[in-house]
Amino acid sequence: DWSNIQWKYQSDSNVDPSRPWIIGHRGSGVKSTDSEADVDNKLIGNTISAIKAAIDEKVDWIEIDIRKSKDNKLVVFHDSNVAAKTSFDFDESRRSDLTGEVPNLTLDELKGLTLNVESNEKILTLDEVFASSEIPSSEIQWIFDIKASGMKEQVSDWLTKNNIPIDQLILFGDYEVLEEFKGSDYPMGYTTLWAKSRKEMLFNPSEMFDRCDELECEIMVVPIIFVTRTLVESASKRGIEVWCYDSNDIRDLKYATGCGVKGVIGDYPEKMMNAFRDLE
């Protein structure tokens, strides 16, 4: 069962199978951000330093975001627009007709930007993450959060080329994204987005279950506010695990654990790992 796999280098760490998986959001997303940034722009992650931090914190899985450039290169970046979190110049963009949208920028244009992080890092390609000597990629359990539709061909080709084991990767995405990946050999997690789904899903969880069934997803990823014991138990009866995000508070970890959530995605994974040790 893929869900019981632990990192090879953690095999002696005696991870308690009763606790939820701790997933580093964009690596350890807050670790490498500009301390002076406002709250909305503080979380960047998806950098070598953020991924290394998550490895050092011994999280169970590392989640990174995947987008496609104008010239069909896979890049690791969360936002649909680069303006808020890079050196992108609005004045220059008006002169060059660039909008800042990732799919409208070539890889060279994206690589010409500097991320707003303390270590002055660049936007990474997916190839660079897996080629980095600083990241033992073959020893890591990865989550690829596919951020837009229309990427199946590039992602599938990349996975085949790099021979990523099925038990080493989960694909996350919203309904429109995962609809394209239906039938994938890799396990998938249907992500219920708060902004899109709070009205129709919060009070109608059967819709989430139906979408998971339709997409053949083994995981349902929901905001912590959606989590109840009833939701988790109902999902379990249908063979679906519930994972949650927006969960950086120790009280949330306790609550999610009590409800039976199997995975918690957090921006401060070290804090969350320590919190679970405090619960022992």
For the segment 19-45, what is each residue's pLDDT rounded down to a tens digit?
889 999 999 988 777 777 776 677 899
The answer to whether residue 195 scores a pLDDT higher than 90 is no
**145: CB partners within 8 A, 6+ apart:** 63, 64, 65, 66, 172, 173, 191
> What's the pLDDT tens digit per position in 76-94?
999 999 988 998 875 555 4
Report CA torsion sign: 170, 250, 269, 198: positive
- Whether the CB-CB separation of 62 and 23 falls below 8 Å is answered with yes
- The 3-state DSSP class for residue 221 equals strand
Question: 188: which 2 tokens?
Answer: 């998938």
What CATH class is the domain 2-10+17-279?
Answer: alpha beta
The answer to whether residue 261 scores a pLDDT higher than 80 is yes
User: Rounded mean pLDDT of the chain?
Assistant: 86
CA 259/CA 164 separation, integer angstroms:
32
The answer to whether residue 238 scores a pLDDT higher than 90 is yes
pLDDT band, very low/low/confident/very high, at 3 (cuts 50, 70, 90)? very low
**What's this model's pTM, rounded to 2 decimal places?**
0.88
pLDDT, mean of residues 174-187 = 97
Residue 107 has what pLDDT? 97
Residue extents of the structural domains in the chain:
2-10+17-279
> What's the pLDDT tens digit per position in 93-115?
544 556 799 999 999 999 999 99
pLDDT band, very low/low/confident/very high, at 5 (cuts 50, 70, 90)? very low
In terms of average pLDDT, the best of 71-75, 117-121, 275-279 is 71-75
CA 64 to chain CA centroid, Å, is 5
